Amino acid sequence: MGHENITEFILLGLFSDEDAKIACFVLFSLCYIAILSGNLLVLLTIRGSRLSEQPMYFFLSYLSFMDVCFTSTVAPKLITDLLAQRKTISYNSCMAQMFYAHFFGATEIFILVAMAYDRYAAICRPLHYMVIMSRPVCYIIVMASIIGAFIHSVLHVLIMVELPFCGPNRIDHYFCDVFPLLKLACMDTSLLVIVIITTTGVMSILTFVALVISYLIILSTLRTRSSQGRRKALSTCGSHVTVVLLFFLPLIFTYVPVADSVSNDKVFALFYTMIAPMFNPLIYTLRNTDMKNAMRKVWCWRKRSEGK
C-alpha cells in the first residue's frame, strides 16, 4: 500500500490564534535554549567530575542527553512553524520525526526505570549494591534501553508506512505522531488504534505503576534508617518521583484516550516534549548537594585554568 498520493503533510500547530504566535515563538525559543543549556550543563558536569563513577549520575547523564535529543526532534519545527506561512512537512521527514520522537522518548522511559532500580539497589540492598550496579551492568542497561526503544519505534514506523494516505493531509498537531496520522489514513484504523493503545498505553501505565511501587518500597525501607541518611535518600527519591510524574502522567493521558481528545493531546504532548525536559535539570540539581558541589568544582576549575 504505502502513501498513495500524499507527499507532504500540513501541521496545524498548537493553535490558530495569530496574535499569540509571536509571544509563543519567543517563549518556546527561550524554553528550548533553557532545555539545551540546562541538560548540557548537567551532562558536562557529570562527565567532567567524579560523579560519573556513580551509577545514578551515569544514568542521569544519559537522561540529560536523551532530553536534548528528544526535544530537538520536535522543538525546532514547532518554533519555526509559529512564524512560517506554510507549515508543511514532507512524508519522509514526518516518518523520521515520528521515529526519532518515539526512539528518544522510549529510551528516556527505560532510563527512568533503570534509575528507579538503581535507587532500589542502593537503599534496599546496600551490601550488594556495587555488584548489582557494576559498570558493565550499567552499560548493558543503557544498551538494552536503546535496543528496546529502537524496536518500539521501528514497529510504529512500519505500521505507518503501510497505511494509504490519499485524502486530507492536515495533521492536527505540532509534530508527526501516531494518533493524528491514523486519523488521516484512507482506511479503517480502529483496530490499529486499539493495538497502539494496548502496546504503548499499557506499557506506559505498567512502567509508571512499577516506578511508583519501587519508590514506595524504597520509602518503607527508609523508615528504619538514621534521620540524616533518610533525609538524603528522601531528597534524591523526591526528585526522581517528580520527574517521573512530569513525564508519565501526560504520556498516559495521550496514549490512553478517555475521550476523543486530540486538542488536549497537544497540550499533554507539550508537557513531555518541552516542560519535563526543561525542569529535569532544575529538579536534579537544586535539591542535590553532590551535583551542586560538582558544578562548582568543574566550572570554577575551568574558569581558573582559563585565567592562568
Cα–Cα dist 209/47, whole Å: 31
Q: Could you say which DSSP state residue 199 is in?
A: I
pLDDT of residue 266: 82
Cα–Cα dist 207/53, whole Å: 27
Cα–Cα dist 225/243, whole Å: 25
**Is residue 158 very low, low, confident or very high in pLDDT (cuts 50, 70, 90)?**
very high
Q: Could you say which DSSP state residue 187 is in?
A: S
Tell me the β-bridge partners of 11: 171
For residue range 282-303, what is the model confidence (pLDDT) as tens digits?
888 877 788 888 888 888 876 6
pLDDT of residue 302: 64
Tell me the β-bridge partners of 9: 89
Indicate the SS3 state at residue 85: coil
Q: Find out whether 121 and 59 touch, Cβ atoms under 8 Å.
A: no
Q: Find out whether 291 and 284 touch, Cβ atoms under 8 Å.
A: yes
For residue range 68-125, what is the model confidence (pLDDT) as tens digits?
999 999 999 999 998 887 889 999 999 999 999 999 999 999 998 999 899 889 888 8
The more confident residue out of 12 and 33 is 33
Candidate from 42-51, 133-142, 215-224 with smallest mean pLDDT: 215-224
For residue range 13-51, what is the model confidence (pLDDT) as tens digits?
877 777 788 888 999 999 999 999 999 999 999 998 888
Alpha-carbon distances of 1 from 95, 187, 191, 301, rounded to whole Å: 16, 11, 17, 59
Give the Cβ contact number of residue 70 at 10 Å: 25
The pTM (predicted TM-score) of the whole model is: 0.89
Cα–Cα dist 184/189, whole Å: 9
The more confident residue out of 135 and 190 is 135
